[in-house]
Protein backbone atom coordinates (compact mmCIF):
# COMPACT_ATOMS: atom_id res chain seq x y z
CA UNK A 1 0.00 0.00 0.00
CA UNK A 2 1.38 3.44 -0.94
CA UNK A 3 2.60 5.44 2.01
CA UNK A 4 1.05 8.87 2.40
CA UNK A 5 4.35 10.35 3.37
CA UNK A 6 6.90 11.72 0.95
CA UNK A 7 10.20 10.25 -0.21
CA UNK A 8 12.09 11.52 2.82
CA UNK A 9 10.67 8.53 4.72
CA UNK A 10 13.46 6.53 3.00
CA UNK A 11 15.80 8.26 5.48
CA UNK A 12 13.84 7.11 8.51
CA UNK A 13 15.92 5.81 11.40
CA UNK A 14 16.54 2.09 10.94
CA UNK A 15 18.67 -0.81 12.11
CA UNK A 16 18.21 -4.46 11.16
CA UNK A 17 17.26 -6.94 13.88
CA UNK A 18 20.43 -7.73 15.84
CA UNK A 19 21.71 -11.28 15.40
CA UNK A 20 20.46 -13.57 18.15
CA UNK A 21 17.41 -11.37 18.83
CA UNK A 22 14.11 -13.27 18.66
CA UNK A 23 11.89 -10.36 19.64
CA UNK A 24 9.25 -9.05 17.24
CA UNK A 25 10.46 -5.47 17.77
CA UNK A 26 13.97 -4.47 18.79
CA UNK A 27 15.51 -1.35 20.27
CA UNK A 28 17.72 1.19 18.51
CA UNK A 29 21.32 0.70 19.63
CA UNK A 30 21.65 4.50 20.01
CA UNK A 31 18.85 4.72 22.62
CA UNK A 32 17.99 6.88 24.37
CA UNK A 33 17.89 9.54 21.66
CA UNK A 34 16.94 12.32 24.11
CA UNK A 35 18.23 12.30 27.69
CA UNK A 36 17.96 14.31 30.89
CA UNK A 37 17.87 18.14 30.78
CA UNK A 38 17.71 18.51 26.98
CA UNK A 39 17.02 22.28 27.03
CA UNK A 40 17.68 25.26 29.27
CA UNK A 41 14.20 25.07 30.81
CA UNK A 42 13.28 21.45 30.15
CA UNK A 43 14.06 18.55 32.44
CA UNK A 44 12.77 15.64 30.35
CA UNK A 45 11.39 15.16 26.82
CA UNK A 46 9.49 11.91 26.16
CA UNK A 47 6.08 10.50 25.00
CA UNK A 48 6.32 12.49 21.76
CA UNK A 49 4.93 12.45 18.22
CA UNK A 50 7.23 12.35 15.20
CA UNK A 51 6.25 12.67 11.51
CA UNK A 52 7.88 13.25 8.12
CA UNK A 53 7.49 16.82 6.90
CA UNK A 54 8.61 17.18 3.26
CA UNK A 55 12.42 17.08 3.50
CA UNK A 56 12.88 16.59 7.23
CA UNK A 57 11.48 14.91 10.32
CA UNK A 58 9.37 17.03 12.62
CA UNK A 59 7.60 16.44 15.85
CA UNK A 60 5.47 17.68 18.69
CA UNK A 61 7.26 16.84 21.91
CA UNK A 62 6.14 16.50 25.47
CA UNK A 63 8.57 18.53 27.56
CA UNK A 64 8.40 18.52 31.32
CA UNK A 65 9.72 21.89 32.43
CA UNK A 66 11.93 22.46 35.42
CA UNK A 67 8.88 23.68 37.34
CA UNK A 68 7.41 20.19 36.91
CA UNK A 69 4.69 21.18 34.39
CA UNK A 70 4.35 19.52 31.00
CA UNK A 71 4.08 21.50 27.75
CA UNK A 72 4.14 20.83 24.01
CA UNK A 73 7.17 21.92 22.00
CA UNK A 74 7.96 21.77 18.29
CA UNK A 75 11.13 20.06 17.05
CA UNK A 76 12.93 19.24 13.80
CA UNK A 77 15.55 16.75 12.75
CA UNK A 78 17.32 15.71 9.55
CA UNK A 79 17.73 12.09 10.66
CA UNK A 80 14.88 11.45 13.12
CA UNK A 81 17.43 10.82 15.86
CA UNK A 82 19.15 14.12 16.72
CA UNK A 83 16.56 16.79 17.44
CA UNK A 84 16.44 20.58 17.61
CA UNK A 85 13.56 21.32 19.93
CA UNK A 86 12.40 24.84 20.66
CA UNK A 87 12.86 26.07 24.20
CA UNK A 88 9.55 27.93 24.00
CA UNK A 89 6.30 25.96 24.16
CA UNK A 90 3.85 25.95 21.24
CA UNK A 91 1.85 29.18 21.21
CA UNK A 92 -1.70 28.01 20.46
CA UNK A 93 -4.36 30.51 19.34
CA UNK A 94 -8.05 29.82 18.86
CA UNK A 95 -9.77 30.16 15.50
CA UNK A 96 -10.27 33.89 16.13
CA UNK A 97 -6.56 34.36 16.81
CA UNK A 98 -6.90 34.72 20.60
CA UNK A 99 -4.17 33.20 22.74
CA UNK A 100 -5.21 29.67 23.81
CA UNK A 101 -2.15 28.09 25.41
CA UNK A 102 -3.19 25.27 27.78
CA UNK A 103 -1.92 25.48 31.37
CA UNK A 104 -0.41 22.04 30.88
CA UNK A 105 -0.30 19.64 27.97
CA UNK A 106 1.20 16.19 27.52
CA UNK A 107 1.37 12.99 25.46
CA UNK A 108 0.78 14.51 21.99
CA UNK A 109 -0.08 12.57 18.84
CA UNK A 110 0.02 14.00 15.31
CA UNK A 111 -2.26 12.76 12.50
CA UNK A 112 -1.89 14.02 8.94
CA UNK A 113 -5.42 14.13 7.52
CA UNK A 114 -5.90 15.45 3.97
CA UNK A 115 -2.66 17.47 4.17
CA UNK A 116 -3.46 19.15 7.49
CA UNK A 117 -1.67 18.14 10.70
CA UNK A 118 -4.04 17.53 13.58
CA UNK A 119 -2.57 17.31 17.05
CA UNK A 120 -4.31 15.68 20.02
CA UNK A 121 -3.00 15.69 23.55
CA UNK A 122 -4.04 15.63 27.19
CA UNK A 123 -4.62 19.03 28.78
CA UNK A 124 -6.36 20.84 31.59
CA UNK A 125 -10.09 21.23 30.95
CA UNK A 126 -11.01 21.58 34.59
CA UNK A 127 -9.25 18.23 34.87
CA UNK A 128 -7.42 16.19 32.27
CA UNK A 129 -9.17 15.75 28.94
CA UNK A 130 -8.42 15.67 25.22
CA UNK A 131 -7.12 18.83 23.60
CA UNK A 132 -7.24 19.09 19.80
CA UNK A 133 -5.73 21.53 17.35
CA UNK A 134 -4.13 21.74 13.93
CA UNK A 135 -1.38 23.32 11.96
CA UNK A 136 -0.63 23.56 8.25
CA UNK A 137 2.98 24.65 8.59
CA UNK A 138 4.11 24.00 12.20
CA UNK A 139 4.43 27.76 12.61
CA UNK A 140 0.84 28.73 13.39
CA UNK A 141 -1.05 26.38 15.71
CA UNK A 142 -4.86 26.65 15.92
CA UNK A 143 -6.57 25.17 18.95
CA UNK A 144 -10.07 23.72 18.58
CA UNK A 145 -12.55 23.08 21.40
CA UNK A 146 -11.67 20.13 23.63
CA UNK A 147 -13.00 16.88 22.19
CA UNK A 148 -14.45 15.41 25.37
CA UNK A 149 -15.52 16.46 28.84
CA UNK A 150 -13.13 15.49 31.65
CA UNK A 151 -11.71 13.07 32.47
CA UNK A 152 -10.05 11.49 29.51
CA UNK A 153 -6.57 10.70 28.19
CA UNK A 154 -4.78 9.16 25.22
CA UNK A 155 -6.85 10.81 22.49
CA UNK A 156 -5.57 9.39 19.19
CA UNK A 157 -6.96 10.34 15.76
CA UNK A 158 -7.10 8.08 12.72
CA UNK A 159 -5.10 9.46 9.76
CA UNK A 160 -8.11 9.60 7.44
CA UNK A 161 -11.87 9.87 7.62
CA UNK A 162 -13.56 6.46 7.69
CA UNK A 163 -17.06 6.32 6.20
CA UNK A 164 -16.99 10.13 6.03
CA UNK A 165 -16.22 10.66 9.73
CA UNK A 166 -13.13 11.62 11.72
CA UNK A 167 -12.38 8.90 14.27
CA UNK A 168 -10.73 9.23 17.66
CA UNK A 169 -9.66 6.66 20.23
CA UNK A 170 -9.61 7.73 23.86
CA UNK A 171 -9.41 6.35 27.36
CA UNK A 172 -11.92 7.85 29.83
CA UNK A 173 -10.20 8.20 33.19
CA UNK A 174 -10.19 10.12 36.46
CA UNK A 175 -8.31 13.09 37.91
CA UNK A 176 -5.22 11.12 38.88
CA UNK A 177 -3.19 8.20 37.61
CA UNK A 178 -6.31 6.20 36.77
CA UNK A 179 -6.24 2.70 38.25
CA UNK A 180 -8.63 1.55 35.50
CA UNK A 181 -9.23 2.13 31.82
CA UNK A 182 -10.54 0.80 28.53
CA UNK A 183 -10.25 2.26 25.02
CA UNK A 184 -13.30 3.84 23.35
CA UNK A 185 -13.85 4.89 19.72
CA UNK A 186 -15.73 8.11 18.87
CA UNK A 187 -16.61 9.81 15.61
CA UNK A 188 -17.10 13.37 14.41
CA UNK A 189 -18.26 15.05 11.21
CA UNK A 190 -16.20 18.19 11.84
CA UNK A 191 -13.49 17.52 14.50
CA UNK A 192 -15.63 19.48 17.01
CA UNK A 193 -18.78 17.45 17.75
CA UNK A 194 -17.86 13.95 18.95
CA UNK A 195 -20.37 11.12 19.44
CA UNK A 196 -21.50 7.60 18.53
CA UNK A 197 -19.06 6.40 21.21
CA UNK A 198 -18.24 2.69 21.22
CA UNK A 199 -16.30 0.56 23.65
CA UNK A 200 -13.40 -0.78 21.57
CA UNK A 201 -10.95 -2.67 23.80
CA UNK A 202 -11.06 -3.65 27.45
CA UNK A 203 -8.16 -4.14 29.82
CA UNK A 204 -7.58 -7.66 31.10
CA UNK A 205 -7.15 -11.05 29.53
CA UNK A 206 -4.85 -13.85 30.62
CA UNK A 207 -1.77 -11.66 30.39
CA UNK A 208 -1.19 -9.49 33.43
CA UNK A 209 0.77 -6.93 31.43
CA UNK A 210 -2.49 -5.29 30.25
CA UNK A 211 -4.61 -6.25 33.25
CA UNK A 212 -5.01 -2.82 34.83
CA UNK A 213 -5.48 -0.32 32.03
CA UNK A 214 -4.74 0.19 28.36
CA UNK A 215 -4.39 3.25 26.11
CA UNK A 216 -3.95 3.85 22.39
CA UNK A 217 -0.42 4.75 21.26
CA UNK A 218 0.58 6.05 17.82
CA UNK A 219 -1.91 7.09 15.14
CA UNK A 220 -3.14 3.75 13.67
CA UNK A 221 -1.47 2.55 10.46
CA UNK A 222 -3.58 1.36 7.54
CA UNK A 223 -2.42 -2.06 6.30
CA UNK A 224 -3.78 -4.78 4.02
CA UNK A 225 -4.93 -6.65 7.14
CA UNK A 226 -6.70 -3.71 8.78
CA UNK A 227 -5.66 -0.85 11.04
CA UNK A 228 -2.52 -1.65 13.02
CA UNK A 229 -2.94 -0.18 16.49
CA UNK A 230 0.04 -0.09 18.82
CA UNK A 231 -1.00 0.60 22.40
CA UNK A 232 0.26 0.55 25.97
CA UNK A 233 -0.89 -1.94 28.58
CA UNK A 234 -0.34 -1.50 32.30
CA UNK A 235 0.04 -3.97 35.14
CA UNK A 236 0.09 -3.15 38.82
CA UNK A 237 2.95 -4.58 40.86
CA UNK A 238 3.97 -4.22 44.50
CA UNK A 239 6.54 -1.73 43.21
CA UNK A 240 4.16 0.39 41.12
CA UNK A 241 2.77 0.37 37.58
CA UNK A 242 4.57 -1.27 34.64
CA UNK A 243 3.80 0.03 31.11
CA UNK A 244 4.41 -2.37 28.20
CA UNK A 245 3.70 -2.13 24.45
CA UNK A 246 1.03 -4.26 22.74
CA UNK A 247 -0.64 -4.39 19.34
CA UNK A 248 -4.06 -4.97 17.77
CA UNK A 249 -5.61 -5.12 14.30
CA UNK A 250 -8.90 -3.30 13.71
CA UNK A 251 -11.22 -3.90 10.77
CA UNK A 252 -10.43 -1.51 7.85
CA UNK A 253 -14.04 -0.66 7.07
CA UNK A 254 -15.37 -0.77 10.62
CA UNK A 255 -12.54 0.02 13.06
CA UNK A 256 -14.89 -0.59 16.01
CA UNK A 257 -14.26 -4.31 15.33
CA UNK A 258 -11.09 -5.72 16.88
CA UNK A 259 -9.89 -8.55 14.63
CA UNK A 260 -6.78 -9.55 16.62
CA UNK A 261 -5.09 -8.45 19.79
CA UNK A 262 -1.73 -9.53 21.14
CA UNK A 263 -2.02 -11.70 24.26
CA UNK A 264 1.71 -11.15 24.80
CA UNK A 265 3.39 -7.76 24.93
CA UNK A 266 5.63 -6.67 22.06
CA UNK A 267 8.09 -4.88 24.36
CA UNK A 268 8.34 -4.43 28.12
CA UNK A 269 10.76 -2.37 30.26
CA UNK A 270 14.12 -4.12 30.50
CA UNK A 271 17.01 -1.78 29.75
CA UNK A 272 18.43 0.72 32.28
CA UNK A 273 16.82 3.77 30.59
CA UNK A 274 13.44 1.98 30.76
CA UNK A 275 13.51 0.57 34.29
CA UNK A 276 15.07 3.63 35.89
CA UNK A 277 14.25 7.32 35.57
CA UNK A 278 11.68 9.83 36.81
CA UNK A 279 8.97 7.12 36.74
CA UNK A 280 10.53 3.66 36.43
CA UNK A 281 9.22 0.85 34.20
CA UNK A 282 7.33 2.89 31.62
CA UNK A 283 7.29 2.35 27.84
CA UNK A 284 4.86 4.82 26.29
CA UNK A 285 4.61 4.79 22.46
CA UNK A 286 3.13 7.94 20.86
CA UNK A 287 4.18 7.76 17.21
CA UNK A 288 5.56 5.55 14.48
CA UNK A 289 7.08 5.98 11.05
CA UNK A 290 6.60 3.42 8.29
CA UNK A 291 7.75 3.08 4.71
CA UNK A 292 6.75 1.13 1.60
CA UNK A 293 9.20 -1.64 2.43
CA UNK A 294 7.25 -2.43 5.59
CA UNK A 295 9.82 -1.02 8.00
CA UNK A 296 8.41 0.53 11.17
CA UNK A 297 10.11 2.80 13.71
CA UNK A 298 8.17 3.24 16.94
CA UNK A 299 8.99 6.30 19.06
CA UNK A 300 8.36 5.68 22.73
CA UNK A 301 8.90 7.50 25.98
CA UNK A 302 11.00 5.55 28.48
CA UNK A 303 10.64 5.95 32.24
CA UNK A 304 8.95 9.37 31.80
CA UNK A 305 12.47 10.66 31.15
CA UNK A 306 13.90 9.56 27.80
CA UNK A 307 12.88 9.40 24.15
CA UNK A 308 13.69 6.07 22.53
CA UNK A 309 13.07 4.19 19.26
CA UNK A 310 12.24 0.55 18.51
CA UNK A 311 12.16 -1.09 15.08
CA UNK A 312 10.11 -3.85 13.51
CA UNK A 313 8.71 -5.15 10.24
CA UNK A 314 5.02 -4.51 9.63
CA UNK A 315 4.26 -8.06 8.46
CA UNK A 316 6.11 -9.64 11.38
CA UNK A 317 4.30 -7.42 13.89
CA UNK A 318 0.95 -8.38 12.33
CA UNK A 319 1.88 -12.09 12.35
CA UNK A 320 2.91 -11.82 16.00
CA UNK A 321 -0.38 -10.16 16.94
CA UNK A 322 -2.30 -12.91 15.13
CA UNK A 323 -0.17 -15.71 16.62
CA UNK A 324 -0.57 -14.46 20.18
CA UNK A 325 -4.17 -13.31 19.64
CA UNK A 326 -6.40 -13.34 22.67
CA UNK A 327 -10.09 -12.53 22.53
CA UNK A 328 -10.30 -10.15 25.48
CA UNK A 329 -13.35 -8.18 24.39
- Residue 279 engages ligand BMA in binding (rule: CB under 6 A): yes
- Applying CB under 6 A, the span of 75-83, 220-228, 248-256, 279-287 interacting with ligand BMA comes to 279-287
Closest CA to 77 of 60, 63, 62, 56: 56
The Cα 70–Cα 122 span in angstroms is: 10
For 19, what's the count of Cα atoms within 13 Å in the CB-facing half-sphere?
0
- Which residue in 284, 306, 311, 320 binds ligand BMA (CB under 6 A)? 284
107 binds ligand BMA (CB under 6 A): yes
Residues in CB range of 193: below 8 A, 6 or more apart: none
Q: Which residue is nearest to ligand BMA (CB)?
A: 279
Helix H or strand E segment including 291: none
State how far the alpha carbon of 109 is from the alpha carbons of 65, 113, 153, in Å: 19, 13, 12
Q: Helix or strand or coil: residue 324?
A: coil
Rule CB under 6 A: is residue 125 a binding residue for ligand BMA?
Answer: no
Least distance (Å) between residue 210 CB and ligand BMA: 14
C-beta of 44: minimal distance to ligand BMA in Å?
Answer: 10
Cα(156)–Cα(148) distance, rounded to whole angstroms? 12
Which of the stretches 29-37, 158-166, 262-270, 278-286 binds ligand BMA when contact is defined by CB under 6 A?
A: 278-286
d(Cα 216, Cα 96) in Å, to the nearest integer? 31
Q: Which is nearer to ligand BMA, 255 or 301 (CB)?
A: 301
Angle at 225 between CA 118 and CA 18, to 5 degrees: 85
Query: What is the per-residue binding string for ligand BMA in 64-103, x denoting contact by CB under 6 A?
Result: ----------------------------------------
Q: Which residue blocks in the chain are alpha helix, DSSP H?
A: 272-275, 314-323
Q: How far is CA 128 from CA 14, 22, 123, 147, 153, in A?
A: 35, 39, 5, 12, 7
Judged by beta carbon, residue 284 or residue 311, the one nearer ligand BMA is: 284
In this structure, are strands 92-93 and 283-290 parallel, antiparallel, or unpaired? Answer: unpaired
Shortest Cβ 153–ligand BMA spacing (Å): 6
Question: Nearest approach, Cβ of 107 to ligand BMA (angstroms)?
Answer: 5
Instruction: Give the C-alpha separation, 171 to 76, whole Å.
Output: 29
CB of 173 to ligand BMA, least distance (A): 8
**Binding flag, residue 304, ligand BMA (CB under 6 A):** yes
In 10 A of CB 140, how many CB atoms?
Answer: 12
Min dist. Cβ of residue 154 to ligand BMA (A): 8
Number of residues that bind ligand BMA (CB under 6 A): 10
Quick check: 123 binds ligand BMA (CB under 6 A)?
Answer: no
Q: Which of residues 233-252 bind ligand BMA (CB under 6 A)?
A: 243
Our finding on whether 177 is near ligand BMA (CB under 6 A) is yes
CB neighbour class for 61 (10 Å; exposed up to 12, middle 13-18, buried from 19):
buried
> According to the binding rule CB under 6 A, does residue 47 interact with ligand BMA?
yes
Q: Does 282 bind ligand BMA (CB under 6 A)?
A: yes
Nearest-approach distance from CB 179 to ligand BMA, in angstroms: 10
Q: Is 106 in the site for ligand BMA (CB under 6 A)?
A: yes
Min separation Cβ 279 and ligand BMA, Å: 4
Closest CA to 48 of 98, 109, 100: 109
Footprint of ligand BMA (CB under 6 A): 47, 106-107, 177, 243, 279, 282, 284, 301, 304
Amino acid sequence: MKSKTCDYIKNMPWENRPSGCNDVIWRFSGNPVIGWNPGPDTARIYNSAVIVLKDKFAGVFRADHKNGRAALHYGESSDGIRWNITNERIQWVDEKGKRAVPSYAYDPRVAEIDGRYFISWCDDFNGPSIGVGYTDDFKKFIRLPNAFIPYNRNGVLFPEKVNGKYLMLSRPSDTGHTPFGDIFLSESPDMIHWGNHKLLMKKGGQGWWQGMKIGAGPVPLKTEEGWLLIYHGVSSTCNGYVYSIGGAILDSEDPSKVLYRSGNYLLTPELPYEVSGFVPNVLFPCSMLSDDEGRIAIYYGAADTYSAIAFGMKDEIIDYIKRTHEDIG
